[in-house]
Amino acid sequence: MIPQIDIGALGPMLPVAVGAILLPLAEVLMARKRTFLSRPFTQERRGTFLAVASLLCLVIALIISVNGLLGPSRVFNSGNPMIVMDGVAHFLNIVVLLGASLTVLGSVKYLADIHSNHGEYYALLMSSVLGMMFLTSASNLMMLFLALELMSIPLYVLAGFRRSSLRSNESALKYFLIGSFASGILLYGMAILYGMTGSISLAEIGKRFDPESAPHLLGAALVVVGLGFKISSVPFHQWAPDVYEGAPTSVTGFMATTVKVAAFGALMRVLAVALEPAAELLYGALWVMAVLSMTLGNVMAIIQQNIKRMLAYSSIAHVGYLLVGVIVGTLDGYAAVLFYLLVYTFMTIGAFTVVAILAKGGEDRDRVEDLAGLSQSRPLMAVVMTLCMFALAGIPPTAGFMGKFHLFRAAIERGIEIGDTSLFWLAIIGVLNSAISLAYYLRVPLVMYFRDAPPTSDPDVPGFFERVVLLTCLAAVVLLGIVPDDIFNVLSQTAASAQHLLLLQSP
């Protein structure tokens, strides 16, 4: 039987896939001594060329995604929908693509600085992005698993991309081992879910899932563990600081944002569709995970001296905030999560890009003290960093405040609706945590503005590409805070449009 296939559903993925497949080829062709232009490419020009090429693919994919955002939902194969391109998938793809584009722009000079300017970087990045895009739209367990691996395996390599650096190598190794271990757990959970329900489609599982039965719940628990690892929620978080610190900074920015975006997409879909019958039980568990993530993430971040490590802990805390929206489990809650993911991507990549620019001569300068006097020497970088820190801390009117506001508001509204005080406590703990978090976010501007640079310091000038990244993040962090309403309305609509197809089947 020939299935009804809708290639158009793959629209946004195709350019990225083309990039992922052709970029290694282009790299090889250009690496030859004599190229088709009969002039050898210097390594630098080769890097720039590949970056621009991958950017092109990403931007085309971005345009297609934006077009599809409010269009009808599509499935690849109507008989056996492997992926569902609904509003949520499109939106998360947009965030992933934005994050990836900013990463590509921010990588060019950084890779040269750390002497790791290999063309394969972009090919791996594109493969990973492709995996993320499938992950956000996967509608059955097999696609979920494959997409997860397609996302993760290139990242293992990217984390170790500074081949001669012991730290980078260790980061890759840890990420690989723990990641594969978590994949194993996830896979076993999926096997059990399949065995109990007889289907690998999320929707079918949702129909047949029996929240009373122990093996069903065992499968659900293992799947939550596997996804909990990917979003690095406490207690599956410990790899994150180590891996983030050791990986090249541009890769860290990428890992800290897009991976979480995609994994949250998968988590929401799994929770809202496949495990919906067990929602109440699971939300209890997620509640604890959320509170632990927020609190431990913030407390641990306070005593960090390394910015990358501090941001890693801070990202764990942010996972806690994001889980609030997932636990709320209403359209409003999901819309808040989507919005926060967008905001989080900008503020985190902005911060990591500043750290990446500071790297020089093969050395990362990623200690908090390394930023001393930045407001004097590089005011733009200092302003971007400051705003990103304020946004991460949730100070109005930055975008971070708006994101947190929506999350906690959704929790409170839901709490009133169903008379559940635990949601109030979640919101209160969240607000308290964001107050605590200021203690360490504030250190960064403090050092930049109120301390003089050591005489030897000569921070690097941001190049054109980096300037673009910085200004984009700056604009996004400010604008999403000042005029967030249109975006949020779009998100509410996308969440609502997805509702009928896959997400939230129960009215």
Q: According to CB under 8 A, which residues from 443 to 462 bind other proteins?
A: 443, 446, 449-452
Token digits of residue 182: 């978590």
Is 113 exposed, middle or buried (CB count within 10 Å of its CB: 0-12, 13-18, 19+)? buried
What are the CA-CA distances from residue 130 to residues 124, 137, 203, 460, 503 (Å)? Answer: 10, 11, 23, 32, 22
Give the Å distances, CA to CA, from 187 to 193, 223, 358: 10, 8, 40
Closest CB 42 distance from other proteins, rounded Å: 11
Residue list 313-332, contact with other proteins (CB under 8 A)? 332
Nearest by Cα to 322 from 386, 234, 240 = 234
Enumerate residues 286-315 that contact other proteins by CB under 8 A.
299-300, 302-305, 309
Instruction: Mark out the alpha helices in 198-278 (DSSP H runs).
Output: 202-208, 214-231, 239-246, 249-254, 260-269
> Angle between the 485-501 and 87-113 helix axes, to the nearest 10 degrees?
120
Q: Is 344 in the site for other proteins (CB under 8 A)?
A: no
Please, are residues 373 and 292 in contact by the beta-carbon 8 Å criterion?
A: no
Asked whether position 436 contacts other proteins by CB under 8 A, the answer is yes
Q: Does 79 bind other proteins (CB under 8 A)?
A: yes
Query: How many residues of this chain bind other proteins (CB under 8 A)?
Result: 149
Q: Does 420 bind other proteins (CB under 8 A)?
A: no
Using the rule CB under 8 A, which residue among 63, 66, 112, 285 binds other proteins?
285
Under the criterion CB under 8 A, does residue 153 sit at the interface with other proteins? yes
* 171 forms part of the interface with other proteins (CB under 8 A): yes
Please identify which residue in 48, 199, 457, 505 interacts with other proteins, judged by CB under 8 A: 199
Candidate ranges 98-106, 255-263, 354-362, 481-489; the one touching other proteins (CB under 8 A): 481-489
Closest to other proteins by CB, 345 or 492: 492
Of 29, 163, 363, 500, the residue at the interface with other proteins (CB under 8 A) is: 163
Minimum CB separation of residue 350 from other proteins in Å reads: 15
β partners of residue 84: 75
Q: Does 221 bind other proteins (CB under 8 A)?
A: yes
Nearer to other proteins, 452 or 506 (CB): 452
Among positions 100-129, residues that touch other proteins (CB under 8 A) are 118, 120, 123-124, 127-128
Q: Is the Cβ of residue 306 or residue 505 nearer to other proteins in the bound state?
A: 306
Residues paired with 85 in a beta bridge: 74
408 binds other proteins (CB under 8 A): yes
Q: What one-character DSSP code corresponds to residue 501?
A: H
189 by DSSP, 3-state: which? helix
| Of 217 and 349, CB closest to other proteins | 217
Class of residue 455 by CB neighbours under 10 A (exposed 0-12, middle 13-18, buried 19+): exposed
Q: Is 207 in the site for other proteins (CB under 8 A)?
A: no
Q: Which residues pair with 77 in a beta bridge?
A: 5
For the window 1-20, what string marks contact with other proteins as x by the rule CB under 8 A?
xxx-x----x------x--x
DSSP string, 260-291: HHHHHHHHHHIIIIISGGGHHHHHHHHHHHHH
Position 352 contacts other proteins (CB under 8 A): no
Residues 488-507 interacting with other proteins (rule: CB under 8 A): 488-489, 492
* 8 Å CB contact between 345 and 257: yes
Position 284 contacts other proteins (CB under 8 A): yes
Strand-pair partners of 201:
140
Identify the helix (H) or strand (E) that includes residue 408: helix 399-418
The reply on whether position 359 binds other proteins by CB under 8 A is no
Give least dist CB 213 to other proteins, A.
8
| Ranges within 23-52 binding other proteins (CB under 8 A) | 24, 31, 43
Are the beta carbons of 502 and 269 closer than 8 angstroms? yes
Q: Which of 11, 68, 87, 154 is close enough to bind other proteins by CB under 8 A? A: 154
CA neighbor of 275 nearest in space, from 331, 332, 329, 337:
329
Q: Is 150 in the site for other proteins (CB under 8 A)?
A: yes
Whether cis (ω within 30° of 0) applies to the bond prior to 462 is no
Q: Which stretch binds other proteins (CB under 8 A): 90-98, 316-324, 343-351, 397-405?
A: 397-405
